[in-house]
Amino acid sequence: AQSVTQPDIHITVSEGASLELRCNYSYGATPYLFWYVQSPGQGLQLLLKYFSGDTLVQGIKGFEAEFKRSQSSFNLRKPSVHWSDAAEYFCAVVESGGSYIPTFGRGTSLIVHP
Amino acid sequence: DAGVIQSPRHEVTEMGQEVTLRCKPISGHDYLFWYRQTMMRGLELLIYFNNNVPIDDSGMPEDRFSAKMPNASFSTLKIQPSEPRDSAVYFCASSSQGVLGEQFFGPGTRLTVL
């Protein structure tokens, strides 16, 4: 069965430090890949998505993600974290040629220390 | 634009009661999605509509759940009868770019079934 794994439940970084959030998936073909952010008490907001082409994708708020087919990964990165980035981050996958129902990872909670 | 509007924001009810959650999508968006978020199962897509027509309801957990979209500006998710395991945050989202496009999420309805 298809699955999405975010191995880190919590990550703590200092403000100004770099960030990488991991996402791995298990699908037969290259799926459509997404990263969302959820601030406390709010709905999800799309950060970026990858369908095809350049494997390094730029998103909003200074985030980027890199698709690595050989590792079945789509890790999210930011070179310098701001306190306002503290939130829950979700990776989501949609199987290409399938029902277009997304499968979400369980999320990674980002804590930012001043 | 006011964004996606959901009501109520919080609902507490007793087991066996009927619960109706409401959503007003962003004007001009022709896709509407209902999600459920729980600690146990994470974020799940329940059903989505295109032009007021249900396209995929495979995520609806049981016959106790039903969703309607009588017009382009209003949708409901009904649970009858409600059970404690239905306690969750229910999100509505809308999009003008299809199932693979950016979805704009409402703030959610936190449902507690006692």
Q: Is-contact B102 B95, C-beta < 8 A?
A: yes
For residue A90, which of A63, A51, A53, A52 has the smallest C-alpha distance?
Answer: A63
**pLDDT (tens digit, 9 = 90+) per residue, A50-77?**
998 999 999 999 999 999 999 999 999 9
Residue B99 has pLDDT above 90, yes or no: no
What mean pLDDT value characterizes chain B? Answer: 95
Closest chain B residue to A108, measured at CA = B42
Which residue has tokens 């191995």?
A7
Q: A108-113 and A10-14 as β-strands: parallel, antiparallel, unpaired? A: parallel
What mean pLDDT value characterizes chain A? Answer: 93
Closest chain A residue to B108, measured at CA = A43
Q: Please, which residues 20-79 of chain B have a Cβ atom closer than 8 Å to chain A?
A: 42-45, 56, 58-59
Residue B107 to residue A102: CA distance in whole angstroms: 20
* pLDDT recorded at residue A21: 98
* pLDDT recorded at residue B1: 63
Q: In angstroms, what separates the C-alpha of A18 from chain B's closest C-alpha?
A: 26
Cα atoms in the 13 Å half-sphere on the side-chain side of A6: 26
* pLDDT recorded at residue A1: 65
* pLDDT recorded at residue B38: 93
DSSP per-residue letters across B34-92: EEEEETTTEEEEEEEEETTEEEE-TT--STTEEEEEEETTEEEEEESS--GGG-EEEEE
Residue B86 has pLDDT above 90, yes or no: yes
Question: Residue B44 has which token pair?
Answer: 């799940």
Banded pLDDT at A85 (limits 50, 70, 90): very high
Show Cβ contacts of residue B57 under 8 Å, excluding neighbours closer than 6 positions. Answer: B46, B47, B67
Residue B55 has pLDDT above 90, yes or no: yes
**pLDDT (tens digit, 9 = 90+) per residue, B9-53?**
999 999 999 999 999 999 999 999 999 999 888 999 999 999 999
How many angstroms separate the first and last alpha carbons of chain A? 41
Q: Is-contact A35 A15, C-beta < 8 A?
A: no
* pLDDT recorded at residue A27: 78
Q: Which of B56, B102, B107 is facing A42, going by the closest CB pair?
A: B107
Show Cβ contacts of residue A55 under 8 Å, excluding neighbours closer than 6 positions. Answer: A66, A67, A68, A69
Residue A86 to residue A109: CA distance in whole angstroms: 8
* pLDDT recorded at residue A29: 77
Banded pLDDT at B84 (limits 50, 70, 90): very high
